[in-house]
Structure 1
């Protein structure tokens, strides 16, 4: 397989700048997920690695070799797109073997490669079918099989599960995870779905506005988000934010409530901060202890319950496994355990 190095990469369309100095080192055999909202530049970055977009500035190296000027076919990579792009007149086996037949690979090697890939993806009973006789999940597996038989240096996935329903996406996430464990292939995966990012990635690259916001393991981004964007994007339901003022080792909310912190911060007293806490870390208090909040909506999810509250007239969510919350009255009390608090300075950068 291959390592991929990206240095000071920029992309502009005329006077419109899309990517701003991207630096990223992808290790051999690593599964990297590029995640962020629509328009953040993640698909553009993937297409530049593939050679489908020209580099405005910077450098891309695959296995140590500069590939900026190489055509896509010469980079020895395979892409799996959101659309399956299968040939309707060919069988599953024909679609999977097409690139090898174009290279005039020996028939014995083609048969071995197709059989091996079909076995990994559970496609063996389907090899003679045409795409129209397959489900969406089966078609996506064929598209993955077509990439696997090439034995490329790297796999690039561009939102491959977006067209599938929720159950199929869950199934295909498992298929992709198993494939990566089996092949140990260098993989770069683009998605706007942070659940996909959390479940698939060795490391997540969180992007916004054409800039890398944070790179780290899924739990690093979840437990210690670098800034307000990452904190709000990673996690479902998203993190709650409350404006506050720091002083004396605690923060004071607008209504005068003092919330203690685990330790003092390297901030001047009276500094404006944003306090963050995830819905699953909020504690519903008994006996009226804590801050009072109005219950606006109770949303059962099966596994747990999401309470939509108004705290200090701001939207606030609590996630709980306690089913007695289904009968929550018009008001509840909440407390914030200090060990689960996140604090961001006025620029939105993490302080603790």
Structure 2
């Protein structure tokens, strides 16, 4: 196991910048997820750590050692790709012990290591089968097993579950999390799926346009997004974003929407009177209420039953709101409903910069 330190790393292809002065420290034994939209630079950063891409400038250290000029094989890391990259003519056992044989590992040691890894991954009964006879989830477990037996300093996962269906992705997320708990190996996981990021990570690194937007625990990013990008990318169903204006009247601060409706907010937030802002509120934080006093009103436009709860789309004077409710209540399309936006749950961002204003 080892820490990974990335300092001032840049990557350009010709004159096209891909990563801009990335600084990131990953602790020994930590599970860090790099998340962001396609093309944001997250896979490029992972490949630079692995040595599969050169860096334009900056420094990468693994276990305190500068690895900028080290070949991938000398970095003592293991990588699991989106494609399983298994040898089709080899059995599961031979795929898993291939790297051990190249290292000249004694036969008895290989047997014990393969047996332990296969047991952890539920592959005990599949060791003599060929990859073509396995399901997608089983093949991905073999690919992980091939990495585990090397006992590397770090695991690098490059969107390993993208080729699996929704149910298999759910199962594999659980297996990967259990595996990390058992092994405690430093792990970096790349995905564009924010659900994977939220469920797997000790810390999430949100990247957009080659720039780190925020680093923190899953709840840090969910409850206190640093900017509009993080607020909109993290969370399912996605956060509601409304246009508003900050109004200050002495000690009182409110958000005024285009309709003239106002919602009181915490008075100590920064910002000036008449400042144009973006207001974010999570669908589960909007409250549908039977009380009329102090509530806003809208009309139900769409109802999405989700099993666990229901997403109700409400057309309002300041845009469409998504509301996630747990109770199985019939909100008929076209019905008028009252709702509130609790001040403590509102996120306020500067409309010009997208940066967070609220505490």
Query: What's the C-alpha RMSD, in Å, of the aligned pairs?
Result: 1.2
Within 2, Cα distance between the matches of 1:294 and 1:286? 14
Within 2, Cα distance between the matches of 1:141 and 1:320? 37
In structure 1, what is the equivalent of residue 197 of structure 2?
Answer: 197
In structure 1, what is the equivalent of residue 174 of structure 2?
Answer: 174
Deviation, structure 1 residue 285: 2.1
Within 1, Cα distance between the matches of 2:306 and 2:6? 41
Deviation, structure 1 residue 260: 0.6
In structure 1, what is the equivalent of residue 320 of structure 2?
Answer: 315
Within 2, Cα distance between the matches of 1:157 and 1:218? 18
Within 2, Cα distance between the matches of 1:19 and 1:294? 45
In structure 2, what is the equivalent of residue 269 of structure 1?
Answer: 273
CA contact (8 A) 1:247 1:269 kept: yes
Report the 3-state secondary structure (helix = DSSP H, G, I; strand = E; otherwise coil) of the residue aligned with 1:266: coil
In structure 1, what is the equivalent of residue 33 of structure 2?
Answer: 33
Say whether 1:324 aligns with 2:329: yes
In structure 1, what is the equivalent of residue 350 of structure 2?
Answer: 345
Unpaired runs of 5+ residues, structure 1, are none
Partner deviation per Cα, 1:59-98 (whole Å, 9 max, x = no partner): 1000111101111001000000001011111111000000
Say whether 1:111 aligns with 2:117: no
Unpaired runs of 5+ residues, structure 2, are none
Deviation, structure 1 residue 326: 4.1
CA contact (8 A) 2:257 2:318 kept: no
Say whether 1:224 aligns with 2:224: yes
Q: How many residues align?
A: 352
Say whether 1:88 aligns with 2:88: yes
Within 2, Cα distance between the matches of 1:305 and 1:29? 38
Deviation, structure 1 residue 213: 0.2
CA contact (8 A) 1:35 1:204 kept: yes
Within 1, Cα distance between the matches of 2:35 and 2:128? 36
Report the 3-state secondary structure (helix = DSSP H, G, I; strand = E; otherwise coil) of the residue aligned with 1:179: helix
In structure 2, what is the equivalent of residue 62 of structure 1?
Answer: 62
Within 1, Cα distance between the matches of 2:243 and 2:45? 34
Deviation, structure 1 residue 164: 0.5
Say whether 1:253 aligns with 2:295: no
In structure 2, what is the equivalent of residue 187 of structure 1?
Answer: 187
Within 2, Cα distance between the matches of 1:36 and 1:237? 16
CA contact (8 A) 1:204 1:215 kept: yes
Within 2, Cα distance between the matches of 1:10 and 1:309? 44
The answer to which of 291-300 and 146-155 deviates more is 291-300
Within 2, Cα distance between the matches of 1:331 and 1:231? 28
Report the 3-state secondary structure (helix = DSSP H, G, I; strand = E; otherwise coil) of the residue aligned with 2:329: helix
The answer to which of 33-42 and 255-264 deviates more is 255-264
In structure 2, what is the equivalent of residue 335 of structure 1?
Answer: 340
**What's the TM-score, normalizing by structure 2?**
0.96
Within 2, Cα distance between the matches of 1:102 and 1:231? 47
Report the 3-state secondary structure (helix = DSSP H, G, I; strand = E; otherwise coil) of the residue aligned with 1:256: coil
The answer to which of 71-80 and 268-277 deviates more is 268-277
Partner deviation per Cα, 1:275-319 (whole Å, 9 max, x = no partner): 110000000121445222232211101111111222226232111
CA contact (8 A) 1:305 1:326 kept: no
In structure 2, what is the equivalent of residue 293 of structure 1?
Answer: 298
CA contact (8 A) 1:305 1:325 kept: no
Partner deviation per Cα, 1:83-130 (whole Å, 9 max, x = no partner): 101111111100000011111111111111101100111111111111
Within 2, Cα distance between the matches of 1:191 and 1:116? 28
